[in-house]
Amino acid sequence: MTHTEVILGDITKLKVDAIVNAANSGLAGGGGVDGAIHRAAGKELYDECMRFPDSPMGRCPAGECVITGAGRLHCKNVIHTVGPIYSGKPSDALLLSNCYRNCLITATKSGLKSIAFSCISTGVYGYPKLEAARIAVDTVQEVIPRVPIINSVFFVCFDDENYTIYKKLLPPPV
Protein backbone atom coordinates (compact mmCIF):
# COMPACT_ATOMS: atom_id res chain seq x y z
CA MET A 1 0.00 0.00 0.00
CA THR A 2 1.28 3.43 -0.95
CA HIS A 3 1.97 5.93 1.83
CA THR A 4 0.44 9.32 1.01
CA GLU A 5 1.19 12.40 3.10
CA VAL A 6 0.83 16.17 3.09
CA ILE A 7 3.88 18.19 4.12
CA LEU A 8 4.10 21.90 4.89
CA GLY A 9 7.57 22.97 3.83
CA ASP A 10 10.21 23.42 1.18
CA ILE A 11 10.18 20.78 -1.56
CA THR A 12 13.83 21.48 -2.38
CA LYS A 13 14.89 19.99 0.97
CA LEU A 14 13.27 16.57 0.53
CA LYS A 15 15.21 13.34 0.18
CA VAL A 16 12.95 11.41 -2.18
CA ASP A 17 13.50 9.75 -5.52
CA ALA A 18 11.79 12.61 -7.41
CA ILE A 19 10.33 16.01 -6.77
CA VAL A 20 7.83 17.46 -9.22
CA ASN A 21 8.49 20.94 -10.49
CA ALA A 22 5.56 23.10 -11.54
CA ALA A 23 7.50 24.30 -14.57
CA ASN A 24 6.88 26.69 -17.42
CA SER A 25 6.86 25.35 -20.97
CA GLY A 26 10.40 26.59 -21.61
CA LEU A 27 11.77 24.64 -18.60
CA ALA A 28 14.00 27.63 -17.90
CA GLY A 29 13.11 28.32 -14.29
CA GLY A 30 11.03 31.28 -13.28
CA GLY A 31 9.11 32.36 -10.23
CA GLY A 32 7.50 30.40 -7.43
CA VAL A 33 8.45 26.78 -6.89
CA ASP A 34 10.04 26.59 -10.35
CA GLY A 35 12.51 29.34 -9.50
CA ALA A 36 13.18 27.89 -6.05
CA ILE A 37 13.96 24.45 -7.51
CA HIS A 38 16.26 25.88 -10.17
CA ARG A 39 18.11 28.08 -7.62
CA ALA A 40 18.59 25.17 -5.22
CA ALA A 41 19.63 22.71 -7.95
CA GLY A 42 22.12 25.03 -9.64
CA LYS A 43 23.24 25.45 -13.22
CA GLU A 44 23.35 21.68 -13.84
CA LEU A 45 19.55 21.52 -13.79
CA TYR A 46 19.17 24.44 -16.18
CA ASP A 47 21.69 22.90 -18.58
CA GLU A 48 19.88 19.58 -18.51
CA CYS A 49 16.51 21.24 -19.15
CA MET A 50 17.92 23.04 -22.17
CA ARG A 51 18.84 19.74 -23.84
CA PHE A 52 15.17 19.15 -24.70
CA PRO A 53 14.39 20.44 -28.19
CA ASP A 54 12.15 23.45 -28.63
CA SER A 55 8.78 22.93 -30.26
CA PRO A 56 5.97 25.37 -31.03
CA MET A 57 4.68 24.64 -27.51
CA GLY A 58 8.05 25.13 -25.79
CA ARG A 59 10.17 22.33 -24.43
CA CYS A 60 7.22 20.77 -22.60
CA PRO A 61 3.53 21.36 -23.40
CA ALA A 62 0.86 21.68 -20.71
CA GLY A 63 -0.16 18.35 -19.20
CA GLU A 64 3.10 16.65 -20.14
CA CYS A 65 6.33 16.12 -18.21
CA VAL A 66 10.05 15.51 -18.64
CA ILE A 67 12.52 14.01 -16.19
CA THR A 68 16.02 15.27 -15.45
CA GLY A 69 18.73 14.80 -12.90
CA ALA A 70 18.56 16.90 -9.75
CA GLY A 71 21.75 18.93 -9.71
CA ARG A 72 22.55 19.90 -6.12
CA LEU A 73 19.15 18.86 -4.73
CA HIS A 74 18.78 16.03 -2.19
CA CYS A 75 16.49 14.03 -4.48
CA LYS A 76 17.56 11.79 -7.36
CA ASN A 77 15.47 13.36 -10.12
CA VAL A 78 13.25 16.30 -10.95
CA ILE A 79 10.12 15.68 -12.99
CA HIS A 80 9.10 18.94 -14.66
CA THR A 81 5.43 19.27 -15.55
CA VAL A 82 3.60 22.19 -17.07
CA GLY A 83 0.18 22.86 -15.66
CA PRO A 84 -2.53 24.77 -17.46
CA ILE A 85 -3.01 28.50 -17.15
CA TYR A 86 -6.47 28.60 -15.59
CA SER A 87 -9.22 29.74 -17.96
CA GLY A 88 -12.26 28.07 -16.41
CA LYS A 89 -12.67 25.74 -19.39
CA PRO A 90 -13.20 21.97 -18.87
CA SER A 91 -9.91 21.31 -20.65
CA ASP A 92 -8.07 22.90 -17.68
CA ALA A 93 -9.05 20.02 -15.39
CA LEU A 94 -7.98 17.41 -17.94
CA LEU A 95 -4.59 19.07 -18.45
CA LEU A 96 -4.01 19.37 -14.70
CA SER A 97 -4.99 15.75 -14.13
CA ASN A 98 -2.62 14.73 -16.92
CA CYS A 99 0.23 16.47 -15.10
CA TYR A 100 -0.16 14.20 -12.06
CA ARG A 101 -0.88 11.08 -14.12
CA ASN A 102 2.09 11.57 -16.44
CA CYS A 103 4.46 12.30 -13.55
CA LEU A 104 3.47 9.05 -11.83
CA ILE A 105 3.87 7.07 -15.04
CA THR A 106 7.26 8.68 -15.73
CA ALA A 107 8.43 7.95 -12.19
CA THR A 108 7.35 4.32 -12.56
CA LYS A 109 9.10 3.90 -15.91
CA SER A 110 12.24 5.33 -14.31
CA GLY A 111 12.08 2.87 -11.39
CA LEU A 112 11.41 5.57 -8.79
CA LYS A 113 9.66 4.64 -5.56
CA SER A 114 8.96 7.99 -3.90
CA ILE A 115 7.64 11.21 -5.39
CA ALA A 116 6.85 14.65 -3.97
CA PHE A 117 4.43 16.94 -5.78
CA SER A 118 4.39 20.70 -5.53
CA CYS A 119 1.05 22.48 -5.96
CA ILE A 120 0.77 22.66 -9.74
CA SER A 121 -0.81 25.70 -11.46
CA THR A 122 -2.04 27.38 -8.25
CA GLY A 123 0.44 30.26 -8.28
CA VAL A 124 0.76 32.66 -11.20
CA TYR A 125 -1.19 30.23 -13.41
CA GLY A 126 -4.25 31.07 -11.30
CA TYR A 127 -5.87 27.68 -10.78
CA PRO A 128 -8.25 27.82 -7.78
CA LYS A 129 -6.45 26.03 -4.95
CA LEU A 130 -9.31 23.83 -3.73
CA GLU A 131 -10.23 22.68 -7.24
CA ALA A 132 -6.57 22.00 -8.09
CA ALA A 133 -6.06 20.03 -4.88
CA ARG A 134 -9.14 17.90 -5.56
CA ILE A 135 -7.84 17.08 -9.03
CA ALA A 136 -4.39 16.25 -7.63
CA VAL A 137 -5.68 13.95 -4.87
CA ASP A 138 -8.29 12.25 -7.07
CA THR A 139 -5.80 11.63 -9.89
CA VAL A 140 -3.12 10.25 -7.60
CA GLN A 141 -5.64 7.96 -5.88
CA GLU A 142 -6.86 6.76 -9.27
CA VAL A 143 -3.39 6.08 -10.72
CA ILE A 144 -1.49 4.70 -7.70
CA PRO A 145 -3.06 1.21 -7.81
CA ARG A 146 -1.72 0.86 -11.37
CA VAL A 147 1.85 1.90 -10.47
CA PRO A 148 2.68 -0.36 -7.51
CA ILE A 149 6.41 0.42 -7.63
CA ILE A 150 5.68 3.82 -6.03
CA ASN A 151 5.45 3.37 -2.28
CA SER A 152 5.39 7.01 -1.12
CA VAL A 153 3.61 10.10 -2.46
CA PHE A 154 3.98 13.47 -0.82
CA PHE A 155 1.99 16.62 -1.50
CA VAL A 156 4.31 19.44 -0.47
CA CYS A 157 2.65 22.75 0.33
CA PHE A 158 4.66 25.92 0.79
CA ASP A 159 1.78 27.84 2.38
CA ASP A 160 -0.75 27.22 5.14
CA GLU A 161 -3.76 27.64 2.84
CA ASN A 162 -2.78 24.78 0.51
CA TYR A 163 -1.66 22.63 3.46
CA THR A 164 -5.08 23.00 5.14
CA ILE A 165 -6.89 22.16 1.89
CA TYR A 166 -4.84 19.00 1.28
CA LYS A 167 -5.19 17.85 4.90
CA LYS A 168 -8.98 18.00 4.53
CA LEU A 169 -8.98 16.14 1.20
CA LEU A 170 -6.62 13.30 2.00
CA PRO A 171 -7.97 10.33 3.88
CA PRO A 172 -6.32 9.81 7.27
CA PRO A 173 -3.41 7.31 7.28
CA VAL A 174 -4.37 3.71 8.00
Are 115 and 103 in contact by the 8 Å Cβ rule? The answer is yes
Is 174 contained in some domain? no
Could you give the number of structural domains in the chain? 1
Domain of 152 in residue numbering reads as 3-169
% of the chain residues with pLDDT over 90: 84
Active site residue 92: no
Are 32 and 121 in contact by the 8 Å Cβ rule? The answer is no
% of the chain residues with pLDDT over 70: 97
Q: Is the pLDDT of residue 28 over 90?
A: no
Q: Which of 34, 92, 159, 160 is catalytic?
A: 34
**Residue ranges with strand state E in 41-144:** 65-69, 77-81, 114-117
Q: Is the pLDDT of residue 56 over 70?
A: no
Task: State the average pLDDT over residues 91-101.
Answer: 98
Residue 86 is given by DSSP the state: P
Q: What is the pLDDT of residue 57?
A: 60
Q: Poorest-confidence range of 64-73, 83-92, 143-152, 164-173? A: 164-173
Is 46 contained in some domain? yes
CA 174 from centre of chain: 24
Q: Is the pLDDT of residue 53 over 90?
A: no
CATH of the domain at 120: 3.40.220.10
